[in-house]
Amino acid sequence: MTQCDKLTTGRFLEHAVWCWNEDETYHLPVTDHEPLPEDLGTLFVRAKFKLPGGCQLDGYIFGLHSILGLGIFIGDREVVFNANLPDFAVDDERLVCGLLDIETGNLFPIRYETKFHYKDEMNLCGEFGFS
C-alpha cells in the first residue's frame, strides 16, 4: 500500500483522499471514498480553491465533517491554514499574497469545492476564512 509522509500535488493526483495512519506519522490513501468514510479520523480531500479576486488554486481540505483547514499548492510550495491556529495564518497569508502578487488582506474568504461527500450529504464545498 502507498504511504507518504508529505502530501503533494502529485500524491493527490494518485489518490484524491488520504488519512493518517494510527500514530499519525504518515498518510495512507483512502481508496473507498464514495461516500467518504467516517471511521478513519481526519481526512485530507483534494479540492479546488477560488480566491476573492478570482484566482484558482489546487490543494486539499482536512477535517472530519467540519473543515479544520486547508492546504494550498503554489508551484512546489504548500501553505497550510488551520482554523484552530489563526495566529499562524498571518505570515502564511503574506507568503501566499506575495507568491500570487495580490494585496495582503485580499486572500480570505477562500471558496473550496470537492467532488466528494459523506453519506446522504452534498459534496464538500463552502468558504474558509478567519473571522
**Quick one: pLDDT at residue 1?**
63
**Quick one: pLDDT at residue 113?**
98
What is the percent of the chain with per-residue pLDDT over 90, rounded to a whole number? 91
My answer on whether omega of the bond before 35 falls inside 30° of 0, hence cis, is yes
- Asked, for residue 1, whether it belongs to a domain, the answer is no
- Asked, for residue 98, whether it belongs to a domain, the answer is yes
Task: Report whether pLDDT(115) > 70.
Answer: yes
pTM for the whole thing? 0.95
The residues pairing with 63 across neighbouring beta strands, listed in sequence order, are 43, 67
- Asked, for residue 2, whether it belongs to a domain, the answer is no
**Quick one: pLDDT at residue 11?**
96
Q: Extract the C-alpha cell encoding 121.
A: 450529504
Mean pLDDT for the chain overall: 95
How far, rounded to the nearest angstrom, does the alpha carbon of residue 117 sit from its chain's CA centroid? 14
CA–CA dist 124, 122 (Å, integer): 6
- Asked, for residue 60, whether it belongs to a domain, the answer is yes
> H helices of the chain, where?
9-14, 86-100
50 burial via Cβ count (<10 Å: 0-12, 13-18, 19+):
middle
Give the chain's domain count.
Answer: 1
Domain extent for 90: 9-128
- Asked, for residue 71, whether it belongs to a domain, the answer is yes
- Asked, for residue 3, whether it belongs to a domain, the answer is no
- Asked, for residue 4, whether it belongs to a domain, the answer is no
Identify the DSSP state of 124. Answer: P
- Asked, for residue 35, whether it belongs to a domain, the answer is yes
